Structure 1
Amino acid sequence: MEVSANSSQIEKKENNILQVIIASSVGTLIEWYDMFLAIILAGVLSTQLFPNDGSSHFLETLAVVVSSFMFRPIGSLVFGSIGDRIGRKYSFLVSLIMMGIATFGIGLIPTFESVGWFAPVLLLICRIFQGLAISGEYAGAVIYVAEHAPQEKRGHYTGFIQATVPLGLLICLLVVYFTKAAMTEEAFNSFGWRIPFLFSGVLVLISYFIRKKLHESPVFEQLKKEGKTSKSPVKDTFTTPGNIKVMLKAIFGGNAAQSTIMQTTLFVTLFFLQRAVMLPYETVLIIVLIATLFSSFFYQYFGSLSDKIGRKPVMLGGMISSLILIPFSFYMYMTIGNPEGLKEIHEIGTPAILAIAGISLITSIAGAATYGPLGAFMLEIFPTKIRYTSMGFAQNMGNGFIGGATTFVTELLKSTLIVSAAMSPYIGLTYPLILIFIAILVNYFTVPETYKTDLTKD
């Protein structure tokens, strides 16, 4: 009977953690879907929400779209304070609703032809709210899962949250691809682009009701019972001795590099294949879909691996590999996809498509090694009572403000810096490569190993 009771308790615990992972992951996945959608459809938004005056407004559209990343540090303080004072669950429920409303709102924005400059202003407002929402979502989900997980499986379980980024993008790409396939290009550019944004409303509602059934994190509940929660998490985040130094290590020793690697392997690749290699949009979607699909399994794998050998060696391996692979991969994209330097959109054969997708996959796997353990590392480096605020701020400064600017900065450098014709397609890569190089140095020399940290320790 005793063995049976113990087995029942173990089974119950596993079922609970499974429920926690599913509910947290589904919500985070949908929020990443919402966040990425405007980036994927930036080209269409530039023609629908900006003046049709014969000039390209792609860079301006990217600036508005990327603005969401700039506001994430502010949102992290707001939602972090809620999460550290009231609870983890409440904070990421509010962020989920906010994200859903903002994304649905983008799908309803009138065109520039209808309301003039009010259209891009509305896009900016919606993107700001999306940035504020994701800043509370990601940190809350990772912390919530980790505070339910046993120490020796913290990277394993939080790895599922890390995997929601490529899966969110994958769903995003699939929805866009099938929506485009179901109608003419004219119809998609006219009204079809709104469908993926409006579809988000359904996903958010489903996720909300799944999450609503969850209980609060046991680590936070214990802290609350003992009266050890912070009354002023934002103030404590910046006044606790040594905490600012820890946040700087987290920002420049991992988060900024991780974000710029992911932005480069996904979105910069997407734009480069379209605008430099001159491949058809559908071909580019297929290439990114293949790389995203097969790399998504590695995020959780590297999170799990970091439970065994530590967070640092896995993250450093990913960063060093990315530093080498990113310039190599972009050179190969051009060599395989446009060896003759064509200036117009052109088709390539299946072997070339698979070759480019394979190179993109290898680079994405290096990014997965950087990102897979990062969630566990970030929450382990901060004390429980200010964990949500500290982790959220550091993550959103590095991942959002600094690394999140990658797509815009790379396009800006390409369009403004005067370099040789041979270097012009690649000059934008200097930004991510500098951030990665800094992260390798900071991580190797200053960042501590954290995988055996006790999360209840203050």
Structure 2
Amino acid sequence: MNTNTTEIQPQKKNDILTVIIASSAGTLIEWYDMFLAIIMASTLSVNFFQADGSHFLETLAVVASSFMIRPIGSLLFGSIGDRVGRKYSFLLSLIIMGASTFLIGCIPNFATIGWAAPILLLVFRLLQGLAISGEYAGAVIYVAEHAPKEKRGFYTGFIQATVPIGLLICLLVVYIVRSSMSAEDFVSYGWRIPFLLSSVLVILSYFARKKLHESPVFEELKSKGKTSKSPIKDAFKAKGNIALIFKAIFGGNAAQSTVMQTSLFVTLFFLQRTVLLPETTVLLITTIVTFCSAYFYQYFGAISDRLGRKPVLLGGLIASLILIPLSFYLFIQIGNPDGLNEIHEISTTATMQLIGVSFMLSVAGAATYGPLGAFMLELFPTKIRYTSMGFAQNTGNGLVGGATTFVTELIKSSFVVSAVMAPYIGLIYPVGIVVIAIIVNAFFVPETYKRDLTEDIE
């Protein structure tokens, strides 16, 4: 009997390739769902608010609400992940995300149901925020707990790369749908198609993930009766764990998010609303940059296995500090040197130059994000890893860094400064967060890349 049990056991193990594909596919789809409303903010503002002027800032506030709820969601899903298992937590998050995205595509416009339209958008964005708070941490931990120690950055780098790939698919779908119909038809009903399409992708990913078994590290913890009965309580009461959470938030996580938000969405809106380029041109630039930079997310994760998490992360932060102000200055100098006050076309040469500038900023963002997943999970003990990492990641990435797009727009519209500084004043927020991260990371954050994830189970 014992011999048979021993023989059956290996069949319950997951092949690392299957783990990466199933985990990455689900995370990719959830980022697609998360980013879709941000990219479509201008269109949503027309559909879900009354036609009495621009409601772009209000729409961004509703869209950003998904980032604000994420710390709460991380405690909910983290508790499930640390008590029941990693697999079940991110299966649940996938279902919630898919349903919420589909339902956004079904919301009637303001003319039909009035203020119920933005309220429903708010409700579904909050549900999306809850879902992504359980998804990312679960996927990274699940992959890392299957990976050999010397390749944790390499394998978790595939999860990190789902962000640009998810955005890339999102941009391509929006671009194809928008190009296949008139602007009026897209605003009227075409915008719904990318949201509704998500349901098909979610169903496929769900069945792929359902076949996976639990991670071996968690199974070992569970078999020895060392799982936490109260992960939330333990995460905040374990000796030194709160300090680790703060180091994770301000030593890289908040800055990573603000750099990524700046290189992607702040850039997108800046080129549309300040440089005044056609929307199709901006989508083209963003799509090409996202495609070309996607590789570097996994690349920097792999590099951190050899050099350590801190050197790679610090290098990305310092590069971002230089490139953020420089890039936005060049966006105007290249895209609108004559200070035109209307939407205008630019030459192919200028378009390529803007792609080059944006690409450099995106690669800096990749350097901050590539090693971050491995770095975050290595900080925390196994029995409260999901809760601790989830809370730190969703507070830094969601609450602090996730507010970047909204806060930069709010600062630009609220502060009266000179005409020269007006386009750039919103960059104070991401630059400030990056400076804090450089200081905290350089002087207070430990190196983690050689840590054994099972050392606290014995």
The TM-score, its normalising length taken from structure 2, stands at 0.97
The aligned runs of 1:4-43 (5 Å cut-off) are 16-43=15-42
CA 1:357–1:14 in 2, change beyond 3 Å: closer, same or farther?
A: farther
Tell me the residue number matched to 2:320: 322
Shift of residue 101 of structure 1?
A: 0.3
The whole-number CA distance in structure 1 between the counterparts of 2:188 and 2:365 is: 36
The whole-number CA distance in structure 2 between the counterparts of 1:68 and 1:227 is: 35
The aligned runs of 1:110-121 (5 Å cut-off) are 110-121=108-119
Cα displacement string for residues 68-110 of structure 1 (whole angstroms, at most 9, x for unaligned residues): 0000000000000000000000000000000000000100001
Shift of residue 25 of structure 1?
A: 0.1
Tell me the residue number matched to 2:378: 380
One-letter amino acid matched to 2:224: E
User: What is the CA RMSD across the aligned residues, in angstroms?
Assistant: 1.2
Tell me the residue number matched to 1:6: none
Sequence identity (%): 72
1:52 aligns with 2:64: no
The whole-number CA distance in structure 2 between the counterparts of 1:278 and 1:80 is: 43
| Contact persistence 2:93–2:132 (CA under 8 A) | yes
Tell me the residue number matched to 1:100: 98
Tell me the residue number matched to 1:355: 353
The whole-number CA distance in structure 2 between the counterparts of 1:453 and 1:354 is: 43
1:258 aligns with 2:256: yes
The whole-number CA distance in structure 1 between the counterparts of 2:395 and 2:241 is: 15
Tell me the residue number matched to 2:289: 291
Tell me the residue number matched to 2:392: 394
Shift of residue 196 of structure 1?
A: 0.2
1:167 to 154, 165, 181: 165
2:149 to 151, 155, 169: 151
The whole-number CA distance in structure 2 between the counterparts of 1:427 and 1:359 is: 20
Cα displacement string for residues 24-67 of structure 1 (whole angstroms, at most 9, x for unaligned residues): 000000000000000000000000000011x1000000000000
Tell me the residue number matched to 2:340: 342
Tell me the residue number matched to 1:239: 237
Shift of residue 138 of structure 1?
A: 0.1
1:431 to 429, 432, 441: 429
Instruction: Classify the secondary structure of the residue corresponding to 1:347.
Output: coil
The whole-number CA distance in structure 2 between the counterparts of 1:161 and 1:79 is: 18
One-letter amino acid matched to 2:89: S
The whole-number CA distance in structure 2 between the counterparts of 1:395 and 1:47 is: 33
The aligned runs of 1:168-207 (5 Å cut-off) are 168-207=166-205
The TM-score, its normalising length taken from structure 1, stands at 0.97
Shift of residue 15 of structure 1?
A: 7.9
Tell me the residue number matched to 2:7: none
| Contact persistence 2:12–2:213 (CA under 8 A) | no
One-letter amino acid matched to 2:42: G
CA 1:446–1:186 in 2, change beyond 3 Å: closer, same or farther?
A: same
Cα displacement string for residues 383-433 of structure 1 (whole angstroms, at most 9, x for unaligned residues): 000000000000000000000000000000000100001110100000000
Tell me the residue number matched to 2:79: 81
Cα displacement string for residues 275-299 of structure 1 (whole angstroms, at most 9, x for unaligned residues): 0000000000010111100100000
Unpaired runs of at least 5, structure 1:
1-11
The whole-number CA distance in structure 2 between the counterparts of 1:51 and 1:426 is: 30
The whole-number CA distance in structure 2 between the counterparts of 1:58 and 1:202 is: 30
One-letter amino acid matched to 2:320: S
| Contact persistence 2:235–2:242 (CA under 8 A) | yes
The whole-number CA distance in structure 2 between the counterparts of 1:370 and 1:358 is: 19
1:221 aligns with 2:238: no
The whole-number CA distance in structure 1 between the counterparts of 2:341 and 2:424 is: 16
The whole-number CA distance in structure 1 between the counterparts of 2:110 and 2:374 is: 44
The whole-number CA distance in structure 2 between the counterparts of 1:290 and 1:13 is: 41
The whole-number CA distance in structure 2 between the counterparts of 1:167 and 1:254 is: 22
2:419 to 421, 435, 458: 421
One-letter amino acid matched to 1:45: L
Mean CA deviation greater in 316-325 or 14-23: 14-23
Shift of residue 14 of structure 1?
A: 11
One-letter amino acid matched to 1:352: A
The whole-number CA distance in structure 2 between the counterparts of 1:266 and 1:317 is: 19
Instruction: Classify the secondary structure of the residue corresponding to 1:56.
Output: coil
Unpaired runs of at least 5, structure 2:
1-10
CA 1:77–1:149 in 2, change beyond 3 Å: closer, same or farther?
A: same
Instruction: Classify the secondary structure of the residue corresponding to 2:423.
Output: coil
The whole-number CA distance in structure 1 between the counterparts of 2:42 and 2:225 is: 52
One-letter amino acid matched to 1:89: K
Instruction: Classify the secondary structure of the residue corresponding to 1:230.
Output: coil
Shift of residue 13 of structure 1?
A: 12
| Contact persistence 2:13–2:216 (CA under 8 A) | no
One-letter amino acid matched to 2:112: S
Shift of residue 457 of structure 1?
A: 2.1
Instruction: Classify the secondary structure of the residue corresponding to 1:66.
Output: helix
The whole-number CA distance in structure 2 between the counterparts of 1:292 and 1:35 is: 16
Cα displacement string for residues 333-356 of structure 1 (whole angstroms, at most 9, x for unaligned residues): 000000011110000011100100
| Contact persistence 2:253–2:397 (CA under 8 A) | yes
| Contact persistence 2:404–2:429 (CA under 8 A) | yes
The whole-number CA distance in structure 1 between the counterparts of 2:313 and 2:292 is: 19
